[in-house]
Amino acid sequence: MRMLHDFNASILNEVAHRPWPMPARRWVMTQTWHDLLFAHWPIDPAVLRAIVPATFTLDLFDGQAWLGVVPFRMSNVAPRGVPALPWVSAFPELNVRTYVRVGDKPGVFFFSLDAGNPLAVQAAWILLNLPYYRASMEVRTRPPTIDYRSDRRIGRKRATLVATYAPRGPAVAPAPGSLPYFLTERYCLYQLSHRRRSYRLDIHHPPWPLQDAAAEILENTMAAASGVALPDTAPVLHFARRQDVVAWLPSAIDD
């Protein structure tokens, strides 16, 4: 495969860690994720069950549901065989997510995905019915610290994150069965199509190189904008410097 800017194509040969084989179909897109903060809070499963489509089973860790707010930057966002372009293939993104499964395949369910690229937002809504929103976003790097600001306004409704975060300690792959593994090692997302049919979208990446993290979250209304009140507890924090990813077209899930 031809390299797309600095995309690491060798990840396609790193498959022993996967919980199920990669799809036999050709993958269709590359992405590289940078400077991710995973901020997670425990949530009463009943709260999320009320707002996650019933076709998806909530995935729990020791009986507890979790909600994540995940800011990061994207690059190398491009279809297979198409060179990445700086003005359309690199932008900030901010996800609000929880964890679901269908059968024996655990995955991610997104309540919202904010992005600084209006083309990406429009394409995701049209092609995948993913809840992408255009937001005003600014990311500044002061190694090793990341200053992150995102503000989405739709009428009088706002969804805002203002945070400063940095890694702490060495990067290690999370141990299977641990909470960090549960929160990050996910190889698909689940969503409903425009016709309200369930689908799975598979992805592939190496094991997460996770570090402990410290964060000062000055403002965070992202979960509230999705109808979830966060508990008054400190979040579980992890950091990842980089992750290279390929993705497949969605596949329908038999009802």
The pLDDT of residue 87 is above 90: no
The pLDDT of residue 15 is above 90: yes
- The verdict on residue 18 lying in a domain is no
Q: What pLDDT sits at residue 187?
A: 98
Residue owning tokens 């255009």: 134
- The verdict on residue 4 lying in a domain is no
| 8 A C-beta contact, residue 69 and residue 43 | no
What is the rounded average pLDDT of the residues 241-252? 98
- The verdict on residue 221 lying in a domain is yes
Q: Which of 22-26, 87-91, 219-223 has the lowest mean pLDDT?
A: 87-91
- The verdict on residue 10 lying in a domain is no
- The verdict on residue 3 lying in a domain is no
Question: Smallest Cα–Cα separation from 192: which of 118, 115, 123, 111?
Answer: 111
How many structural domains does the chain have?
A: 1
**Integer Cα distance of 207 and 10 in angstroms:** 13
Percent of the chain residues past pLDDT 90, beyond the cut:
92
| 8 A C-beta contact, residue 186 and residue 38 | no
- The verdict on residue 185 lying in a domain is yes
Residue owning tokens 């995309």: 7
The pLDDT of residue 2 is above 60: no
Q: What pLDDT sits at residue 1?
A: 35
DSSP secondary structure, 79-115, as one string = ETTS---HHHH-EEEEEEEEEEEETTEEEEEEEEEEE
| The token pair that represents 74 in the structure block | 């994207």
Q: What pLDDT sits at residue 156?
A: 86
Q: 119 or 47, which is more confident?
A: 47
| The token pair that represents 224 in the structure block | 């509230």
- The verdict on residue 1 lying in a domain is no
Q: Report the predicted TM-score, pTM, of the whole model to 2 decimal places.
A: 0.96
The pLDDT of residue 88 is above 90: no
End-to-end CA distance of the chain: 36
What is the rounded average pLDDT of the residues 206-211? 98
| The token pair that represents 156 in the structure block | 């009088």
- The verdict on residue 103 lying in a domain is yes
**Integer Cα distance of 196 and 216 in angstroms:** 38
Q: What pLDDT sits at residue 5?
A: 66
Q: Where residue 227 sits, what CATH number does that domain have? A: 2.40.400.10
Dihedral angle sign, alpha carbons of residues 216, 136, 238, 244? negative
Q: What pLDDT sits at residue 4?
A: 46
Q: Which of 11-20, 83-92, 204-213 has the lowest mean pLDDT?
A: 83-92
> What string of H, E and C letters represents the secondary structure of 105-162?
EEEEEEEEEEECCHHHHHHHHHHHCCCEEECEEEEEEECCEEEEEEEEEECCEEEEEE
By residue range, what is the domain housing residue 194? 25-252
The pLDDT of residue 50 is above 50: yes
The pLDDT of residue 78 is above 70: yes
